[in-house]
Structure 1
Amino acid sequence: MSSNFHLNEVKSMDNPDSPSEIYRNWSNLPLDVTLMILMKLGAVEILESVQFVCKMWYILCKEPSLWRTIRIHNLARARREINHEKMLFNAIDRSDGRLIDLDINRFGSDELCSYVSSRSSQLKRLRLTRCRNISADAVIQALEKLSCLEEVELSFCRFQVAKTVAIINACPSLTTFKFNKLGGFEGSYEACDEEALAIAGRMPELRHLQLIENNMTSVGLTAILDACPHLQSLELRECYELHLTPSLRKRLSEEIKDLQYSSSDSDEYSDIDYLGGHDDFEYSDDEIADYYRNKY
């Protein structure tokens, strides 16, 4: 690979008589190398600072190939003033319809959800975490338009069961589905197989399924196993109405390569509820992952 990347000599401002110092002129990097560097950065870093390094970088930061994956998390309390939604609108525009992987956390609106679905027909992976200003109806309408979706994760959601069933019905071609209701509605811990039966009825191509704080029983789980013959990975956490019989345990061990299951007899429910359910103490994804890593 040829390069016109130059090293320049400059004198120290404090001591002009000192030996020359060498600095790199980043604007002279080959374009393909610069793009590789930029691809290692996140959307927030690019939009907030990196694109302003020089004119060439500003132009390259509009290259659609940089925006095939967009990850924007509103995690730092000190930076709440950032308009994450405006930032995502900008990123979607720059992707020029080539976005395949979208991951957003703690922001969003129905308008934004609609914009994503209308401008991202190639989207394959969608992850929404604590996006409480996005309604279930907006999610349903978006999923119905995104026909290329293969993986969907909805975490810390507070959708009613009927809405969740409609969400499941809207994306029948998924290979990965993660639906996590940590800290859901108070009083919602009654046995209910509607969501599990919807998964069984609409997602026959599933390879990976993760359900946390789902109210299904062994009836719902059996229906999923019967209807999803390709299922390889199954993660069930805090499913307190699910009691595995010996025969069901045996079937899981024989059919599922990667099984993660926490018993309904767990005495640590209050810790889980505290971790996921209180707005006054919001945790980052990394903190939640660490919690589970240490717990299990």
Structure 2
Amino acid sequence: MGECSEFRRWEELIPDALGLIFRNLSLQEILTVVPRVCKSWGRAVSGPYCWQEIDIEEWSQRCKPEQMDRMLQMLIARSCGSVRRLSVSGLSNDSLFSFIADHAGALQTLELPRSQMSDSIIEHVAPRLSNITFLDLSYCKKLGARALEALGKNCKSLVGLRRTMHPLEVADKVCQDDEACAIACTMPKLHHLEMAYLLLTTRAVLDILSQCRDLEFLDIRGCWDVKLDDKFLKERYSGLKVLGPHVVDCYERNFWDECSDYSDSSIYSWDEFMDDGFNVFEGGSDEDGIWDDGQGLEGLEVRFYGGELNDAVAGFDWPPSP
């Protein structure tokens, strides 16, 4: 008995420690299982301890825009300004991006593929994103050189940028050298840059190489007009790994054919697990209020799917090299 008394019970761990442990669980488990265990675990998942890294990209690809907006607002509010990494797909409007920027004091990694923000909102809120070190703005069709320039001028610590597009999304454009120019002029500290399937010229890529002297990785797959000499690259940029422009097409198979038997593994009603959360506390104490957060989440349906997505989701059937 004396030996056992030296060990603390799980519910007695401080919230910070519990938060570190719970981060290894899935979003489904954190929101629907952990709160039902005990009061201390419920407090841990309702506070900032579990939400310094918010990754709901996979879930957000399958939910309705209004559901994703409400989920994101709730989780960011719970983080109390301490979120360091945010990964979500398909922001539907400028106001939600502005909300993120308002709570971005500690944000370092921001991944927003397939989102609908505009150049103007990026220019407006970029000063609030000064601590960002990695950005993913892939498949953001409304963004262009203006947004990249604003981000480069304000995110002085930026070392990684992912700005890839689907070929069909740039079919109506003539050239995107202006984006390359914005990167070259405002992001000199980049180590990692992905620009696959942008309509770039050789001159634009060389401008990036001449200005971004710390670059270690450059992805220009599908930038068919770019002609770089391997010997020249090895002599001038020996520490640089370049992927592309010509690629072995790995997307000729239809990704969805492989997933034809894919099915929804489970559906959780927000009302259901919120109500159960209330009941887990004896007597309906004041601590029940941690489940609401003032976000009006009644009726929100949360769907969780098994398995993981890979890059083929973004590419669907990518065209072969010309």
Structure 2-normalised TM-score?
0.68
- Counterpart residue type for residue 96 of structure 1: C
1:205 aligns with 2:195: no
Structure 2 matches for 1:159-170, cutoff 5 A? 159=142, 161-170=144-153
Match of 1:286 in 2: 310
- Counterpart residue type for residue 142 of structure 1: V
1:87 aligns with 2:71: yes
Q: Is the 8 A contact 1:165 1:194 kept in 2?
A: no
- Counterpart residue type for residue 140 of structure 1: E
My pick for the range that moved more, 141-150 or 37-46, is 37-46
More strand by share: 1
Aligned equivalent of 1:119, options 103, 108, 111: 103
Match of 1:219 in 2: 203
1:3 aligns with 2:7: yes
- Counterpart residue type for residue 169 of structure 2: G
Distance 1:68 1:59 in 2: 15
Aligned equivalent of 1:239, options 223, 234, 237: 223
The size of the alignment, in residue pairs, is: 258
My pick for the range that moved more, 154-163 or 228-237, is 154-163
- SS in structure 2 of the partner of residue 212 of structure 1: coil
- SS in structure 1 of the partner of residue 137 of structure 2: strand
TM superposition shift of 1:100: 0.9
Match of 1:135 in 2: 118
Match of 1:184 in 2: 169
Q: Is the 8 A contact 1:168 1:198 kept in 2?
A: no
Match of 1:196 in 2: 180
Q: Is the 8 A contact 2:126 2:151 kept in 1?
A: no
Change (3 A) 1:3 1:156: same
Change (3 A) 1:252 1:262: farther
Change (3 A) 1:120 1:287: closer
- SS in structure 1 of the partner of residue 242 of structure 2: strand
TM superposition shift of 1:95: 1.1
The Cα RMSD (Å) is: 3.4
Aligned equivalent of 2:45, options 30, 52, 61: 61
TM superposition shift of 1:108: 4.1
Match of 2:134 in 1: 151
State the identity %: 22
Change (3 A) 1:268 1:37: closer
